[in-house]
Amino acid sequence: MTQSLILRRPDDWHLHLRDGAMLEAVLPESARHFARAIIMPNLVPPVVTAHDARAYRDRIMAALPEGMDFTPLMTLYLTEQTDPDDVADAHASGLVSAVKLYPAGATTNSASGVRDFDKVRGVLDKMAEIGLPLCVHGEVTDADIDIFDREAVFIDRVLDPIRRATPGLRVVMEHVTTSDAVDYVTSQPQDLAATITTHHLVINRNHILAGGIRPHYYCLPVAKRETHRRALRAAATSGDARFFLGTDSAPHTDALKESACGCAGCFTAPNTLSILAHVFEEEGALSRLEGFTSLHGPAFYGLPANEARITLTKGDPVPYPSRIETGDGPVTVFDPGFALHWRVT
């Protein structure tokens, strides 16, 4: 018997599209399945002002192949120099959907991020006033905090104090990787949601390190131990509208990943939906997949769910390329380690 599932067309609430040749190569991989995506601003140099965001949005639209339907939802990269009025104007004109907070040094191209949170107080207050969400990379950067503890420590030392100091600020804790983050989100009465990536539902830290080091499983926040992966699966499949998909699909060339100091990021755009259907089926939660991929995100961002539908059909293994070619070099596609039987049509 063929099993199939019709979903509203999904959105990706956290995506890295890069620029130039990489953008051209990876954009169709997302646009094929996703209607909209929150576009990360960590380019070099970063997308800091409304002017930068408009120019980047134009480059994305210019790279979109004829006939594909995709809307980039732009973000601004928060710096200690960000002007609250520029942010408010960008929001009022419909140009940006969120502001992104990278603690300085936390991850790829985060050097221009925030060191002193008092310096962004004016922007955060303005955002709370106008209802513009803050997307947060939730890891402390202190060298003395173990990398596996950086998310949990961030909640106590940074996130909770910021939220208490800024009532009404709407926050998305991005790519949560711990049961601590899941518990924090579910303990809060309002104004807080979290995205979960595809890969963090599949791998734990052993996948990166046991039996050899596997650079294509290295991302930030780094995958944690199995108990945390289980908590993420439970949250994603729970039906709780505070959790929704943000793939954090983050392409780097193989040369940059397979290196003595490899870049962080898993490239999951091509096969994310097949993997998610597999995961939700394993959890006996296929009926909740649409909420996670297509309903909870728009509800948080105050946008209508997409009217178009996609169909997922279960059958023979679906072949995905192990890598895609880009003008910058090959990029390896995330390997979930199991055969994928759900095909998107």
Give the active site residues: 248
CB-CB contact of 332 with 267 (8 Å): yes
Q: Which residues pair with 76 in a beta bridge?
A: 99
Q: Does 42 bind ligand DOR (CB under 6 A)?
A: yes
> How many CA atoms are closer than 13 Å to the CA of 68, on its beta-carbon side?
21
Q: Does 220 bind ligand DOR (CB under 6 A)?
A: yes
Q: Does 265 bind ligand DOR (CB under 6 A)?
A: yes
Alpha-carbon span 43 to 249, nearest angstrom: 14
Q: Does 248 bind Zn ion (CB under 5 A)?
A: yes
Please choose which of Zn ion, ligand DOR, none residue 42 contacts, taking the beta carbon within 5 to 8 angstroms, the exact cut-off set by kind: ligand DOR
Q: Does 250 bind ligand DOR (CB under 6 A)?
A: yes
Query: For 225, which DSSP code?
Result: -
Site size with Zn ion, rule: CB under 5 A: 1
Residue nearest to Zn ion (CB): 248
Alpha-carbon span 225 to 247, nearest angstrom: 20
Query: Cβ 248 to Zn ion, closest distance in Å?
Result: 4
Mapping DSSP to helix (H, G, I), strand (E, B) and coil, where does residue 95 land?
Answer: coil
Query: Cβ 100 to ligand DOR, closest distance in Å?
Result: 10
Query: Cβ 265 to ligand DOR, closest distance in Å?
Result: 3
Q: Does 16 bind ligand DOR (CB under 6 A)?
A: yes
CB-CB contact of 176 with 232 (8 Å): yes
**Region of 125-133, 193-201, 241-249, 323-331 interacting with Zn ion (CB under 5 A):** 241-249
Amino acid at 326: T
Q: Does 198 bind ligand DOR (CB under 6 A)?
A: no
Phi, psi for residue 251 in degrees, rounded to 5? -70, 135
Residue nearest to ligand DOR (CB): 219
Place of tokens 């990360």: 40
Q: Does 107 bind ligand DOR (CB under 6 A)?
A: yes
Phi, psi for residue 162 in degrees, rounded to 5? -65, -45
Q: Does 133 bind ligand DOR (CB under 6 A)?
A: no
Q: Which residues pair with 144 in a beta bridge?
A: none
Residues that bind ligand DOR in the complex, under the rule CB under 6 A? 16, 42, 107-108, 137, 219-220, 248, 250, 264-265
